[in-house]
Amino acid sequence: MATTQDCAGDKLVQEKERHVKANARDYNDKFSYADNRIKTSKYNLFTFLPINLFEQFQRVANAYFLVLLILQLIPEISSLSWFTTIVPLVLVLVITAVKDATDDYFRHKSDQQVNNRQSQVLIRGSLQNERWMNVRVGDIIKLENNQFVAADILLLCSSEPYGLCYIETAELDGETNLKVRQALTVTSDLGDIAKLIDFDGEVICEPPNNKLDKFTGTLFWRDNKYPLDNGKMLLRGCVLRNTEWCFGMVIFAGLQTKLMQNCGRTAFKRTSIDKLMNTLVLWIFAFLVCMGVILAIGNTVWESWIGRNFQVFLPRDEFQSSAVFSGFLTFWSYIIILNTVVPISLYVSVEVLRLGHSYFINWDRKMYYSQTDTAAEARTTTLNEELGQVEFIFSDKTGTLTQNIMVFSKCSINGQTYGDVYNEFDQKVEITEKTACVDFSFNPLCDRRFKFYDGSLLEAIKLEDPAVQEFFRLLALCHTVMPEEKSEGHLVYQAQSPDEGALVTAARNFGFVFRARTPETITLCEMGRAVTYQLLAILDFNNVRKRMSVIVRNPQGQIKLYSKGADTIIFDRLDPSSEDLMHTTSDHLSEFAGEGLRTLALAYKDLDEDDFDVWMKKLLFASTEIENREDQQSVLYEEIEQGLKLLGATAIEDKLQEGVPETIACLSLADIKIWVLTGDKLETAMNIGYSCNMLRDDMNEVFVISGHSLVEVQQQLRSAKEHILGLSRVSSAGDVEKTDVLSVDSVFEEAIIAEYALVINGHSLAHALEPQLEHVLLDLACLCKTVICCRVTPMQKAQVVELVKRHKRAVTLAIGDGANDVSMIKTAHIGVGISGQEGMQAVLASDYSFAQFRYLQRLLLVHGRWSYFRMCNFLCYFFYKNFAFTLVHFWYGFFCGFSAQTVYDQWFITLFNIVYTSLPVLAMGLFDQDVNDRNSLRYPSLYKLGQQNLLFNKRQFFLCTLQGLGTSFLLFFIPYGAFSVMVREDGSYFSDQQAFAVTIATSLVIVVSVQIGLDKCYWTAVNHLFIWGSLSVYFAVLFAMQSDGIFGIFPSNFPFVGTARNCLSETSVWLVILLTTVVCVVPGLAVSFLRVNLFPALTDKVRHLQQSRKREGPQEQNLRRVRRTSSRRSAYAFSHQQGYGELITSGKNMRMSKVSSARSPGRTPHSSTWIENMLKRKNEVSCASGESTEAPESGNRAKQKTPKQQPAD
C-alpha cells in the first residue's frame, strides 16, 4: 500500500489556500499542484553513482583511504605499492554500492506497483481506467467496494442512502473498526454520469498538511456555499467497505495527501559505534600526523648532522636538495607506512561481522512463528550492535501489543459467576487449548468461531433461568451493531468497537440472536423463536454518561429499559432492592478486573406506560431545542435511568499477544523505557497498559494530561513535574519560579524511587511538542516509569521519537505493525516491523521484522547484547593488534636514520591483516559470547553495559591503543637488545636486518594469537581451527616465500631468501620469541586476573555461575505474571467514538428495502479525562532466576490517594 511511501523531501511551494475546480484540468494545472505519483527511491540510473559515492565518502575512513591512495601514487614518497590500498577500497565501495542498489531496486519496484494501480476517472464524458500516477487534482473518480482510496477526495455521492459510505482507516490510525463518511446533501444525488459531467463546483480549502482528523474547506456551487469538514473526506490509505460504489473529487494528490505528509524521510541510519569510529579515525590521523612530524624532524636533523657523511656513496637525488625537503618527503612516506593503524580491512571485517550477526537473527528458530510461517528477518546489516544499546522503545498498541481480538471471557449473572472450569474435585483448572469447549450445535445460527468453556451457563439457558435469559436478551438489544445476513443463517456484525461485537456474538451463541434492525424495531431469534421488539428510544453512549440504554416494547406490550455501562455509574442508579446483589457482583467485578478483563455492569427497569408517555413528550420537546439540546437530553436520560434492577456483569478480554507482559517486565529490568504511542483512545490505551503491567494500581500516581490549550497543558505538565520533584514554589503567574530545577532534574531522575506514569492525549501532545514546552514534557516523561501517548497522528509519533533522539542522546527503537507506524519506524535509530493483521507496510519500512512482540526480548537481550559485545571486543582487539604491528616502524625509525624503511618484509605487511590475523578476530567477532542466551534472558541487567556504552568508548580505545603501544615497544626492543648480544651456535653474530625482521614478525603473530586466545570467553571448534590454523598458515607462507625456489622465479619480489630457514633454526631465536611473548602477555593477564577476582562485574559473576552449573544446565527463564486484584475498567474504553444511536433511529443508514449491513459512527467528541478513582491493589511481575528467587517490588511507597476508577468512553 502507498502508505509505506516516503515523502522524499520534494518540498513544493507553500500554499496559503487551495483552489480546486471539478472537471477542469486546465484550470487546476495553473496552480502546479503535485500529481499522484509517489517516489520513495533515492537514486536513478544517472544519480546513483555520484550520490552513492558521496554518501560513502561521508564515512571518514573512506575519505582517509582515498587520500592515502593518492599519496601512494607518488613514487618519490611511496614505499608501498598502490594496489595494497586501491583493491580493498574498491572492494568496500563496490559491496556497499551493490547493497544500496539492491535496496533501492525494491523501493522502485514498490513505487511502480503503487503508481500503476488502476482507478476509474471521469474523463471527457466517460469513466476511463487510469493509473494512479495519472490521477490529477480536480478529477472525479469512482471507487468500488474494498478498493483503496487513490488520493484525498471529497465524497460527492454513494450507493448508500443519504450519501453515506463506510471506510476502514487501519492504514492511517491502526483502527480496524469501520467509520462513516457522508456527502453533502446537495451532491448526494449526483449518482448519474451525466450529472457528474455537469458538476463544476469549486472547492477552496486549507493547504496540504498532516492533520488526519481535521479538514476545513468550502464548496462553491450554483451560487451557494457549503461548509466542508473531515467527515466528508476520504483520505488516501483508507479502504472502502460495505459500500457498492462512491464518487469523489480529488483535492490532494501524491506527496501532498495527508498520508504522505505524515510519512517520514528515509534517513541514513548509522550506529553510535560508526559515529565514534569517525571520531577515532580523526584522532588516529592526528596521532599519525604527530608521529610523521616527529620522524620527519628526526630525518631533517639526521640528514643535517650525519647523512651528509654518506653522500659520497649515497648521493642525493637532484630534487632532494636540502635536509628540510628530505624531511618533508619523509613525513609523507611515514604517513603511508604507518597508515595500517587503521587498515581498510577493519571496515571489510566490520561488514562481514554485521552480515554474520544478521544471519544469526534470520536463523534463530526461537524467533520463528510457526502459525504464520514467519521467521525473524534482519532487513539491514548495519545496525546489529545498536540493538545492544537501546534505552527507549516506542511501541504501537493495536496489533503490536494486542491481537486486536475481543473475547467474551466471563460473566456474573444474579450473583453467580460463569466462565471458570472446575475439575471433579471442585478445583479451578487453567483453560488451555485442550480444554473442551461448550457445544453450541443446538443453535444453527451460532458463530462457530466463538469459544466458551463453562457448560453450566448453557445449562442455565436450557433450564430457562429468567435472570440468565434476561441477561442475554439485554446484550442482544442494547447496542448499536448493524447486522448483515449474507446468506441464510450467515450473519456478519459491523460494530462500532470490537467489544460491542463480542457481547452481541456471545448473546447470539447462547440462543439470543440479533437478526435485524430498522429505525423502529429490533428482531431477535430467541431460542429458535423470532421475536420483534419495538424500539422506542436509544439513550446513547458518550464519554460523560459512560453508559448506554435502550427502551423497547416487547411482544407482550411491556415497556422495558435495558442499560449497560461502567459499574460505578450503574451501581449509583440501582434500586435499593438490588443492594445485596450489587455487593456480590462488585466482588466478582474485582476478581475479573484482577485478571485484566474489561468489565460492564448490566441492569434493567420496567417502565409504566403513562410515565413513559410523559417522559417521551419531554424528550421530543428537548430534541427540537437549538440551544443546550444535549444538556437537556442528558437531564432527561438521567431522570429515567433511576431505580434500575441489577442483572449482572460481563468480562471481556482484549487478547494480548502471547508473552507481552513478561517481555515488558524483562525489558524494564534491563532499564529499557517503553513508551506506547497509539492512535487509540485514552481509555483503551490505559486498559492495555494495565493488562500488560505497564500501568499498575500500586503506582504512586498516574498523570493524565488532557488540556485543550497551550496554557492548560503547560500547567498540567508543570504540576505533575512539581508533584514528582516535591516542589511547590509557584509564582503568582502560575509558572515555576526560576530556580536551578532543570539543572538537578537528571539527579532526581536517577534518585526517584516512587513509580509514576504519564498518559497524554493527542491534542495535548500537539501543544506539549511546541518548542517552549518540549523540554518540560521530556523531563516529566523521563521521571515516569511508563509513558502512554494516545490519539496521536503518525507524524506526532515521529515527533516524539525525534524529541527523545535529539535531547536524550539515547538509542531509540520503534516497533509497530501498521502503515501509521511507518514514520515512527523511520525516525527511530532502529525500526522493527511486526508482520501482523494490518498489512506489510511497517515491515517494508523496518530494519528488523518478526511476527510477535515477545521476540523483541530475544532480539535485544540476546542478539543485540551479543552483537554489541562481539563488535566491541573485535574493535578493541583490532586496534590493539594494529598498533602493536604498526608502531614497531616508529621505534625502528630511530635506528634506520629516519629513512622510512620498513621493519618487515613487504609481503608480511600485505598479508598480516588479511591472512595471518583476519580469521581469528573474525571468529571472535562472530561466535564469542560472555554468557549464553539463557543467562542473557535470566539476567536482564547484563544489558546495561551496552546502554552505558562501557565496552567500547574513548576510554577503552585509549587503553587498547596504549596496550598496543606497549606491546610494539616490547616487540622491538626485546629482540633488539637480544640481537645486540646474541650469537649463533657457531659463534657468529646476528647482524642482518632480515633475521631481525623475521624474529619480530614471528613474535608479533604469536603474541596477538595468544592474546586473542586469552581474550575469548567462548571456545568453539571454529575458534581453535582459525587460531591454530592461522599460525600454521603463517609459518607455511613464511617458509614458502623465503624459499630458494620462489626466489629463483621472482628474484626482485622476494628478497628474504633463506632468512626464515636460517633464523628459525636457531634455539636462541626461539628463546627470544618466547621471552617476548611472555613479557607482552603477562601484564595484561595479571590485570585481568586481579580485576575478575577482586572487582568482578555482573558478567563475571554470571559466567562463573554458568561454568559451575555447566553439567546441570540452567533452567529457562521463567517470567510469570502474578495475578493481581485491580481496579475495574469498563469495556466501553474500546468505543472510540460517541455512539450511533441518533443515526440508527433517524434511519439514515438504513436501506429502503433491507437492513443495512454496516453501522454508522457519529462524530468524535473531545476526549475527556480518564477515570477519577482507582482501587489500590498489589500487582507484581517477577523475573525468577535459576535459584527460583524473585526480586521483590520496591517498598516504601509514598502515600497516595486510592480513588475508584471510572470507565472511559
Active site residues: 396
Residue 183 phi, psi dihedral angles, 5° rounding: -75, 160
Q: Which long-range contacts (CB under 8 A, 24 or more apart) does 223-230 make?
A: 224/186, 226/184, 226/186, 228/154, 228/184, 228/203
Stated as kind and residue range, the H or E segment containing 157 is strand 152-158
Q: How far is CA 342 from CA 346, 354, 470, 872, in A?
A: 7, 19, 80, 16
Amino acid sitting at position 506: A
Q: Which residues pair with 264 in a beta bridge?
A: none
Q: Are strands 559-565 and 547-553 parallel, antiparallel or unpaired?
A: antiparallel
Alpha carbons 161 and 935: distance in angstroms, whole number = 63
CA angle 681, 685, 688 (to 5 degrees): 145
**Is residue 542 within 8 Å of 526, Cβ to Cβ?**
no
**Is residue 1205 within 8 Å of 1127, Cβ to Cβ?**
yes
**Is residue 1141 within 8 Å of 613, Cβ to Cβ?**
no
Write out the three cell numbers for 306: 650525519
Three-class SS of residue 236? coil
Write out the three cell numbers for 184: 453533502
CB atoms < 10 A from the CB of 71, how many? 18
Query: For residue 553, what is the DSSP state?
Result: E
**Is residue 484 within 8 Å of 1157, Cβ to Cβ?**
yes
Write out the three cell numbers for 388: 545492544
Burial class of residue 373 in the structure, from the number of CB atoms within 10 Å of its CB (0-12 exposed, 13-18 middle, 19+ buried):
exposed
Alpha carbons 1102 and 930: distance in angstroms, whole number = 9
Q: Which long-range contacts (CB under 8 A, 24 or more apart) does 547-554 make?
A: 547/641, 547/1132, 548/478, 548/479, 548/480, 548/1132, 548/1139, 548/1141, 549/478, 549/637, 549/641, 550/477, 550/478, 551/607, 551/612, 551/640, 552/477, 552/522
CA atoms within 13 A on the CB side of 177: 27
CB atoms < 10 A from the CB of 642, how many? 11
Alpha carbons 965 and 882: distance in angstroms, whole number = 10
**Is residue 877 within 8 Å of 1015, Cβ to Cβ?**
yes
Alpha carbons 1089 and 1099: distance in angstroms, whole number = 14
Three-class SS of residue 497? coil
Which ranges of 116-240 does DSSP label H, i.e. alpha helix?
170-173, 193-198
**Residues recorded for the chain:** 1209
Alpha carbons 1162 and 18: distance in angstroms, whole number = 28
Q: Which residues of 480-501 are buried (b: 16+ CB within 10 A; e: fewer)?
A: bbbbbeeeeeebebbbbbbbbb
CA angle 53, 59, 60 (to 5 degrees): 120
Closest CA relative to residue 292, chosen from 886, 957, 987: 886
Amino acid sitting at position 206: E
Query: For residue 838, what is the DSSP state?
Result: T
- The gap from C-alpha 725 to its chain's centroid, in whole angstroms, comes to 30
Alpha carbons 835 and 851: distance in angstroms, whole number = 5
Query: For residue 1147, what is the DSSP state?
Result: T
